[in-house]
Amino acid sequence: MFFPISKPSITQLEIDYVTDAVKSTWISSLGPYIDRFESEFASFCEARFGVSVANGTVALHLSLVAQGIGPGDEVIMPNLSFVATANAVLHAGATPVLVDIEPFTLCMDPKKIEASITPRTRVIMPVHLYGHPADMPAIMDIASRHRLIVIEDAAEAHGARAYGRRVGSWGHCATFSFYGNKNMTTGEGGMITTNDETLYHRLRYLRDHAMSKEKRYWHTEVGYNYRITNIQAALGCAQLARIDSLMGKRRQLYTWYQSALQGISGISLNRTQSWAENSYWLICLEVEDFDEQRRDAFMLGLKQLGVDTRPYFYPMSLMPYLQILRQVDTPVTNKTYQRGINLPTYFDLLESDITVITDAIKKHLYVK
């Protein structure tokens, strides 16, 4: 038996929709599934508009360039995230500014933002890490006082809510990823949601080579080909039709892990604020006395028992090519990343599988 960290859930519905798209010959970036996926995903996020794109990284890049962010501009983001968050900003020619996280939610700490604001700051980019929403009211308040744009990186949090409101509906825009290991997938794919009609039209225009609407094959600025295909959108429509069950299963997995591991001292699973609905992209396990070395030994032990895990993201400030960034003190990030791993989190897992996995965890935790 081997339990991977992640695995997409593909049913007959996905097969039917994809087959329909392929048979229709609308296999490229025009076709009915694209409009349907965009409008259904936007309404799922309680946002007015959705713009589908090739992946979550270009969703971030397009959001930045469409709002005029470029060289000389600074973008504030948490130090703990997947590196695509910072890379998209670098691709736009702007500069990431890394701030510390809150230990409870693992998301950017709003109390640490204002000290990092300079005259060059243009954007705050919160990340809803591992499915927990960032503290959006606090972030929106800081942004409006300093006249900053907010771009939510919601790649890991489809369907999560803060204060009853879905992620993807808070910021000036928000970005999602549909990579194979995310809460819902299109293979590769992404989406930008927004309530701003002007921005919506600009995103669509830049996504498609910045081609004039009035005059075909006439271009007045550098555009991009960041489109998704009708085949991918068909897969997305099927996943969206199943989203309640996909999300419900992740909550169920959390409950199973929690009851199997309760009462063990010195460990904790995902923590969720009372104002939040967690979408549990990945089950998180933190062990208080872990450092990087003990964590890696623990993960190796689990692997030998057939359980795949992965470490929390490294602080982006540790990446050699990001050492050029303004150095910031992020003590919570620097300590937390060493303590945490992610456990197998996918639709097909059964309660008996969770028993096998948690037995392996208990066995290795007690061998010191």
Ligand X SMILES: *Cc1c(COP(=O)(O)O)cnc(C)c1O
Handedness of CA 42, 159, 90, 78 (dihedral sign): positive
- Helix-, strand-, coil-residue percentages of the chain, each rounded to 5: 40, 20, 40
Q: For residue 193, state whether it binds ligand X (rule: CB under 6 A).
A: no
CB atoms within 10 A of CB 259: 12
Q: Closest CB to ligand X among 86 and 354? A: 86
Could you tell me which of 48, 34, 35 has the C-alpha nearest to residue 172?
48
Which one of residues 29, 52, 67, 177 is an interface residue with ligand X (CB under 6 A)? 177
CB of 177 to ligand X, least distance (A): 3
| Alpha-carbon separation of residue 226 from 75, 240, 340, 366 (angstroms) | 22, 21, 34, 49
Question: x/- contact string, 59-98, with ligand X (CB under 6 A)?
Answer: ----------------------xx-xx-------------
Altogether, the residues listed in the chain come to a count of 368
Q: Closest CB to ligand X among 155 and 360? A: 155
Q: Closest CB to ligand X among 47 and 127? A: 127
CB of 130 to ligand X, least distance (A): 9
Q: For residue 156, state whether it binds ligand X (rule: CB under 6 A).
A: yes
CB of 59 to ligand X, least distance (A): 7
Q: Closest CB to ligand X among 333 and 358? A: 333
Total residues in contact with ligand X, by rule CB under 6 A: 14
First to last CA, the chain: 25
Q: Which residue has the tokens 């998704």?
A: 228
Answer for the pair 126, 78: CB distance below 8 angstroms, yes or no: yes
CB of 129 to ligand X, least distance (A): 7
Stretch of 55-63, 104-112, 163-171, 244-252 lying at the interface with ligand X (CB under 6 A):
55-63
What b/e sequence results for 139-171 when a residue is b if at least 16 CB atoms lie within 10 Å of its CB, and e otherwise?
bbebbeeeebbbbbbbbbbbbbbbeeebbbbbb
Q: Closest CB to ligand X among 59 and 287? A: 59
Q: Closest CB to ligand X among 32 and 187? A: 187
**Chain position whose Cβ is nearest to ligand X:** 56
CB of 309 to ligand X, least distance (A): 17
Handedness of CA 61, 64, 65, 67 (dihedral sign): positive
Q: For residue 57, state whether it binds ligand X (rule: CB under 6 A).
A: yes
Q: What is the dihedral of CA 286, 289, 295, 301, to 10 degrees?
A: -100
Positions in 201-230 near ligand X (CB under 6 A) = none
Q: Closest CB to ligand X among 131 and 256? A: 131
Q: Which residue has the tokens 């003590």?
A: 331
The helix (run of H) or strand (run of E) holding residue 267 is strand 267-269
Q: Closest CB to ligand X among 101 and 354? A: 101
Q: For residue 190, state whether it binds ligand X (rule: CB under 6 A).
A: yes
Q: What is the dihedral of CA 254, 260, 264, 269, to 10 degrees?
A: -10
Answer for the pair 306, 152: CB distance below 8 angstroms, yes or no: no
CB of 262 to ligand X, least distance (A): 28
CB of 6 to ligand X, least distance (A): 11
Stretch of 36-44, 53-61, 107-115, 214-222 lying at the interface with ligand X (CB under 6 A):
53-61
Q: What is the dihedral of CA 52, 42, 36, 129, to 10 degrees?
A: 50
Q: For residue 56, state whether it binds ligand X (rule: CB under 6 A).
A: yes
Q: Please name every residue paired with 93 in a beta bridge, in sequence order, or none if there are none.
A: none
Which one of residues 45, 106, 127, 184 is an interface residue with ligand X (CB under 6 A)? 127
Q: Closest CB to ligand X among 58 and 361? A: 58
Q: Closest CB to ligand X among 201 and 310? A: 310
Residue ranges in contact with ligand X by CB under 6 A: 55-57, 81-82, 84-85, 127, 153, 155-156, 177, 179, 190
